[in-house]
Structure 1
Amino acid sequence: MSSAQAPEVPQLLLTIPQAAQSLGLSRAKLYLLLAQQKGPPVIRFGRSVRISIDSLQKWIKEQENASL
């Protein structure tokens, strides 16, 4: 018998702490940016807040272009 392993599914949504860690920011700083509507767009599922990987990457590119 062989144990079949399920293929690893890429993560599409990040929690705020995960997104902050990916950006190298503190959670508090990311929450502040979101409260000021200067952060990446979020997706809400009831009380859960998530940031899509695609939105996060697009937001980073926009920040790079804004600083040029």
Structure 2
Amino acid sequence: MRGPTSPVRVRFTPDQPHLHVYGKLGDLYGRKRVFLVSILVFLAGSADCGLPQTMTQLIAGPR
């Protein structure tokens, strides 16, 4: 009988498919370039969530 599942394993299991995608992209285009693009995408998403003044603007998006 197996013991309880580790919380760490449960947390990182959904991230596994992304590792293969980013690994392949890193092989094709270079790790540094993929890393910088991922940082830019994260910053754009953060700015997109940080700029709205109200909850309605956040939900509705730009109009």
**TM-score category (smaller protein):** 0.3 to 0.5
Q: Which has the higher contact order (CA 8 A, sep 6+)?
A: 1
What is the TM-score of this pair, normalised by structure 2? Answer: 0.33
The structure with the greater share of residues assigned to helix is 2
Whose Rg is larger?
Answer: 2
